[in-house]
Amino acid sequence: MFFFFFSLNANVKWLTLKPGIDILVNNASAISLTGTLETATKKVNLMMDVNVRGTYLTSKACLPHLRKSKNPHILNLSPPMNLNPMWFKNHCAYTISKYGMSMCVLGMAEEFRGEVAVNALWPKTAIHTAAMDMLGGAGIEKQCRKTDILADAAYCILTKPKTFTGNFIIDEVLLREEGVKDFDVYAIAPGHPLMPDFFLDVEIDTTAMNQEGYGAAKEEKKLSRSQQEGADAAKAKTESAAAMPSGPVAETFRVIQGAVTEEYVRSTQGVFQFELSGDGGGTWYIDLKTKGGSAGFGKAPVTADVVMSMSSADFVKMFAGKLKPTLAFMTGRLRIKGNMALAIKLEKMLSQLNSKL
């Protein structure tokens, strides 16, 4: 086998081609950001097979060859093992699979110390990839960095001696230590706020990180999906307005209800239920499926397609444009059950409503 690696920006430096294996990068990863009951068994199997089993067995297959190299390295794209429960509760299976890759670093670094360097690399911020487009929708790239930052960090690691082992490295931290000062070159949109990546407890500039409690998402009953027509939708809209409590949450829903149009209903075709904790909390909904649309206090006229659980304070910030839904989800402040594609559609609607809230 032959191996070559990539460059530091424009200064292309190819490693010498020769028979054998000098470097193994375990980068492939499967992801499903779903709770325990919402994660299909086949998705659990996929994440465990690709992330944990794939990393372990590929390393095992390469190690006999790596041990013959002068400066062998294994590099896993996996995070430091942060045991904060917030990184488990929304996507337990995914977290287990990624931490399995990190445990391979811990074990193999010690097992093969002096023979093969084994390290982990993880980004400080979100990286713009196809997976991020899928999770965050259009516009998410502005909150991300390019893959170049990981390439440069990997180059720094893989050119170190094999005595550099057992480390969990954050890309920006390493590059700062290496003398890099300008990180705007890595940004998709220089100057735009960046989204922190999973598994890192960091302070977010846009909002205070109060670990506020989540309202327990209520179990939904299986109802008919028949749509309310004409007078039924109008009645729901009127009744919801009358039933609304007072406060910032109620005022937000009043504005949302006034902004609902047939165009929103036609382009969205989804019903959103919100389980909010704290002042003005409880069950609220936005119906963008039935004719006319409606929003208000209580359950929607038809079964919800998406259930979102968060604090009342974060809900108000989210609809005022002070907290990005994707950021809230990634940092554990928003829990989503149901149709993720519809959740992304709601984020697009929010950007249009911000000026009215």
Half-sphere exposure of 27 (CA within 13 A, CB side): 9
Rounded to 10 degrees, what is the CA torsion of 50, 54, 55, 56?
A: 140
Give catalytic residue positions.
94
CA distances from residue 182 to 169, 191, 246, 257, 260 in whole angstroms, order as listed: 19, 12, 48, 45, 44
User: Distance (Å, rounded) from C-alpha 69 to C-alpha 115?
Assistant: 9
| Radius of gyration, CA atoms only, the chain | 24
Q: Look up residue 53 and give its DSSP letter.
A: I
User: Distance (Å, rounded) from C-alpha 144 to C-alpha 158?
Assistant: 24
Q: Which two tokens stand for residue 328?
A: 């809230």
CA distances from residue 157 to 44, 125, 166, 170, 227 in whole angstroms, order as listed: 31, 19, 12, 11, 57
User: Distance (Å, rounded) from C-alpha 102 to C-alpha 166?
Assistant: 10
Beta bridge partners of 309: 275, 335
Written as one letter, the residue type at 13 is: K
Query: Which H or E run contains 288?
Result: strand 282-288
Check if the beta carbon of residue 302 is closer than 8 Å to that of residue 271: yes
User: Distance (Å, rounded) from C-alpha 48 to C-alpha 44?
Assistant: 6
**Residue holding tokens 């960091």?**
202
**Residue holding tokens 């440069």?**
152
Check if the beta carbon of residue 307 is closer than 8 Å to that of residue 216: no
